[in-house]
Amino acid sequence: MTKFKYRLHNLDCASCANKIEEHLSKLPNLHNVCVNYSKLTLTFSSEEKDLKKYVTSKIQEVEPDVTLLELDEEKNDEVIFDIIKLIIGLLITLIAYLNHDSVLGHIFYLIAYVIFLFEIFIKALKLLFKSFTIDENLLITISCIGAYFTHNTLEGLMVVILYDIGEILEHLAVNKSRKEIASLMDIKPEYANLKVKDEITKVDPSTVKVGDTIVVKKGEKIPLDGVVIEGSTSLNTVALTGEVKPLEVSKGSNVLSGTINIGDVITLKVTNLYEDSTVSRILDLVENATNRKAHTENFVAKAAKIYTPIVIVLAILVAITFPIFFDISQSDAIYRALSFLVISCPCAIAISVPLSYFTGLGAASHEGILIKGSDYLDSFKNINKIVFDKTGTLTTGKFDSYNLIILDDTYSKEEIINYYVNGESLSTHPLANSILHNFNVKPHNKDIKNFKEIAGKGLTYEINKQKVSIGSSSFIKAATKDNSIYLKVDQDIIAKLELTDTIKKEAKETISYLNKMNITPYMYTGDTKDTALSIASSLGINEVEYELLPENKYKLLEKLIKENKNGKVAFIGDGINDAPSLALSDIGIGMGNIGSAAAIEASDIVLINDDISKLITTHQISKKTHRIIKENLIFALLTKVIVLILAALGISSMWHAVFADTGVTLITIINTTRILKRK
């Protein structure tokens, strides 16, 4: 099964996008069809090849003017032609108006009608005869011609003029929104400076291999993830994490692709291929995020299809029944019915919802929050319980301070440290790096024999005919059970090491916000009871489970989800052992910086810089997006209903009907852009 992706050219209507998606979804050889109006893209999967011509023909059965383009294919924007046509049409209309009592004026009115209606009329006919579908083009055509024959010549002309102006402004407004969001995520590097011996060559980042050396100059984007091997500088990480404060890096620092070097030249050793790099993963997640549609989006798409036929039927009933039951002429009844047809276009409803989600996802991306679908953005506001892993999530996971307690005075501190360092230098356990960092002593492990590591418990090795064991109290069989890392030489326990994991500075603020929002925070950890309760108490977390294995976390989470009837349960973690829980939860939130690849893959939301205060931002964006969608839908529907009633009563004119269509669409688009504005 191959995945295809194309750009849609000449797609200028959200309801038209829904029609294309629905039509293509019925084809047996196309799977997972998704039309993204916000990005003007079509994606689908198929076992067949060379489908571009075939799919284009199928699209044109419902939208005759829409064509498929390759993603990098450019085509002139026809909005310039539309503006020129509008100006010429307006000038001819002005001449007609100034001579409205003469034959010349009538001729110019007819010419203006042809200029404005010809393209719309042709589109309507193509669609009507190809797929027996009525769309807004036919509705506008009928309304304008009907106005002409009911002696409302200028008014009918103004309907199509205002409709054209609205279409142009809508096109410009949507494009502006697309460009604003695209600029937020302008992080794709164009090249990498590959260093081979003393030569530096500009190459495509996708050709660079792990272990290669690259040079990043001032003002350049870092093209691939790597570690600094020479130099020090400041990095602008705004596009990646939303953080305004520059990040200081030096030799040994890990740096992420997509950030910008704003200081001195640095040399990096590449640690990830381009397709596995941070910038590539982000772009891929953002690219595909809006393909997962929220329930509201799907509901509105279905409702828009029902709404238009209902209003058309009402228009016919008005034209037929009003002269019978009310004291109005047939001409007046037809005029009112024509106003109904103009109002019936569902664009404001159809465009506001997907554009709002698209904008919300873009705003989140700018803050360093990758949300893998509109449905997750929509659901986040409904979270009422959130489960935190402890180490690396609520705490830094760096264990950058320690307390060494010597239990046998026959050994010096230096000897004890060497025992720890020699063993941990061969360990793969996450704490090993913390121990080595804390002691900062060069290991001498050449004489080590029979090294063995028991996952999650400890390690053993032999040196100078001594058997050394390092690990938990149960592994060492110490009398006291605590969270220390014990050292045993032969049969004697000679020391224990207490590592201190510090709470993240943003953790307290985040938990406080969640409690304030009536979102209950839980902490599930494998740590000891005393440590877990101490950290939970200092943060304000009342629901704590400790000394858990990964399978215990999973079972507790499963139970919590089953018992939670009135909201969503989220889980946030960073390690590979958290992947099952992340996948199980209603919304899985992973760490993008220190998080494992498995955890990120299993997550629905990824926090790029591991800043859990971004949960606050995500919740606020989710609520704001939902609020603006509600505002848009209520405003659009209320306006249309009011104008429909006024039209039926003969109070409103076609001018009001045009406002209820294109005017409302423009206002909802402008309102949607408020999502991008953060306090």
Which sequence positions are flagged as catalytic?
A: 389
> Which pair of structure tokens corresponds to residue 169?
């402004």
CB atoms closer than 10 angstroms to residue 144: 28
**Cα dihedral value 271, 276, 277, 280, nearest 10:** 160
598: β partners: none
SS3 letters for 267-318?
Answer: EEEECCCHHHCHHHHHHHHHHHHCCCCCHHHHHHHHHHHHHHHHHHHHHHHH
Find out whether 161 and 116 touch, Cβ atoms under 8 Å.
yes
The crossing angle, in degrees rounded to 10, of helices 153-184 and 136-149 is 160
Dist. CA 283–CA 276, nearest whole Å: 11
- Produce one character per residue of 422-439: b if its CB has 16 or more CB atoms within 10 Å, e if not: bbbbebebebbebbbebb
Plot region of 131 (φ>0 → left; ψ -120 to 50 → alpha; else → beta): alpha
> Which pair of structure tokens corresponds to residue 278?
């941070």
Dist. CA 42–CA 45, nearest whole Å: 10
Dist. CA 190–CA 223, nearest whole Å: 8
**With 0-12 CB in 10 A as exposed, 13-18 as middle and 19+ as buried, what is 301?**
buried
- The full length of the chain comes to 679
The backbone torsions φ and ψ at residue 346, rounded to the nearest 5 degrees and listed phi first, read: -95, 20
- Angle 516-239-620 from CA coordinates, rounded to 5°: 20
